[in-house]
Amino acid sequence: MFVSTERLSIRIGANPPARFDKALARDVPEAAALSRTRLARLIGEGAVTRGGVPVMDPKSKVAEGDVIEIALQPAEEVDTIAEDIPLTVVYEDAALIVIDKPAGMVVHPAPGSPKGTLVNALLHHCGDSLSGIGGEKRPGIVHRIDKETSGLLVVAKSDKAHHALAAQFEKHSAERAYLAVCHGAPDPGDARLRGVRGASFEAGGVLKLTTGLGRHRTDRQRQTVTFEGGRHAITRARILESFGQGAAALIECRLETGRTHQIRVHMAHAGHALVGDPVYGGRRRAGAASLGEVAARAINGFPRQALHAAVLGFNHPDDGRALRFEAALPADMQALLDVLRG
């Protein structure tokens, strides 16, 4: 993929959908922030070309290997309101900003969450230092973490930085490590876990989960594991601490890919759902017999998925120097671990 500040070049991948617009929507990098609506508008405007010829019909055919170019217009002002919301800034320069996001903050405005988001806060914090992302004057969200997940994420201030950082995430060269508390302990000695499809163990007792991930058939807000279609996803998890003879564990999860809800879905698929996960945790409850009443009550009452983006590493988009950041556990997760250790 080649990207300039004016044009986005994309090569259509294997087994593309029959329709041009659907294939384009599938293969445009998420970090380019080109919604289906905007892509449809660009197609209608003749801004999408193949071999220098505009593709005006969204139903036209497309083949693997086709190189599609999208002409990007100068950045437009956005309607999103800038809000003076406190941010924990870990690092900032002219090209990017690294934030330690608190649990409870939505990253991007959406229906139902038009205000109070990280983007609202960044519009105020960054001000005129934003030069435009994906045709709009806004911060460039390179990757996202869920509302109730805390921790590190990097945001671009320019189109150049946005695409350079996005390329690292797409090539899986960015380092991302999460800390989580899960039900049970993903132990290599667990015969049940070795029988889970897509699960295997690597050296050092690292659990590797390799599946496809796609939208749930009936609940479009959820993701589900699939072995036919979906987006390729790999998560590696290892036990850092075990509690109550394996009734719960503090684990480190490292992402090779970055799909929506990936860690939460994968750990639930493995039978080790994250503590407090309201979507993928089911009705699983910790028992007092193995953990003790106080610890079991702390786990069962934890109000969010116990997941924290603890480590983030990447190369600076301008000079290539290696940057690596760590964020300490938030108070609620630290308190939970204190009780489990007690």
Q: Which residues pair with 141 in a beta bridge?
A: 155
Task: Report the C-alpha gap between 135 and 119 in whole angstroms.
Answer: 16
Is there a catalytic annotation at residue 318? no
Write down the residue that tokens 């599946």 correspond to: 211
pLDDT of residue 74: 57
Rounded mean pLDDT, 86-93: 97
Mean pLDDT computed over every residue of the chain: 90
Distances (CA, A) of 91 to 74, 100, 116, 156: 28, 10, 21, 12
Is residue 77 predicted with pLDDT exceeding 70?
A: no
Residue 220's pLDDT is 77
Distance (Å, rounded) from C-alpha 150 to C-alpha 332? 10
Greater confidence, 78 or 187?
Answer: 187
Pair 314, 262: CB distance under 8 Å: no
Distance CA 323, CA 52 (A): 39
What pLDDT is stored for residue 109 in this prediction? Answer: 83
Highest mean pLDDT of the ranges 38-42, 68-72, 172-176 = 172-176
Contact 12, 19 (CB under 8 A): no
Other C-beta atoms closer than 10 Å to the C-beta of 214 total 17
Which position has the higher pLDDT, 73 or 48? 48
DSSP state of 111: T
pLDDT of residue 79: 66
The C-alpha R_g of the chain, in whole angstroms, comes to: 21
Q: Is the pLDDT of residue 133 over 80?
A: no
Burial class (CB in 10 A: 0-12, 13-18, 19+), 77: exposed
**pLDDT tens profile 300-324:** 999 999 999 999 999 999 999 999 9
Residue 32 has pLDDT above 90, yes or no: no
* pLDDT tens digits for range 158-217: 878 888 898 899 898 999 999 999 999 999 999 999 899 999 999 999 999 999 999 988
Residues 223-282: tens digit of each pLDDT: 999 999 899 999 999 999 999 999 999 999 999 998 999 999 999 999 999 999 999 998
Longest dimension (CA), the chain: 69
Q: What is the DSSP letter of 76?
A: B
With vertex at residue 316, the alpha carbon angle to CA 208 and CA 76, rounded to the nearest 5 degrees, is 105
Q: First CA to last CA across the chain, in angstroms? A: 52
Residue (of 278, 269, 194, 274) closest to 230 by Cα position:
269
What pLDDT does 5 receive? 44
pLDDT exceeding 70 applies to what percent of the chain?
Answer: 92
Tokens in use for 221? 């807000």
Q: Please list the residues that pair with 225 across neighbouring strands.
A: 213
Confidence of residue 4 (pLDDT cuts 50, 70, 90): very low
Mean pLDDT lowest among 36-40, 97-101, 202-206, 321-325: 36-40
Does 78 score more than 70 pLDDT? Answer: no
Q: Pick the catalytic residue from 66, 146, 159, 277.
A: 146
- Which long-range CB contacts under 8 A does 266-270 form with residues at least 24 apart? 266/209, 266/211, 266/225, 266/233, 266/235, 266/237, 267/180, 267/182, 267/186, 267/209, 267/235, 267/237, 269/196, 269/198, 269/209, 269/211, 269/225, 270/186, 270/193, 270/196, 270/199, 270/207, 270/209, 270/237
- Do residues 139 and 122 lie in contact, with contact meaning Cβ atoms separated by under 8 Å? yes
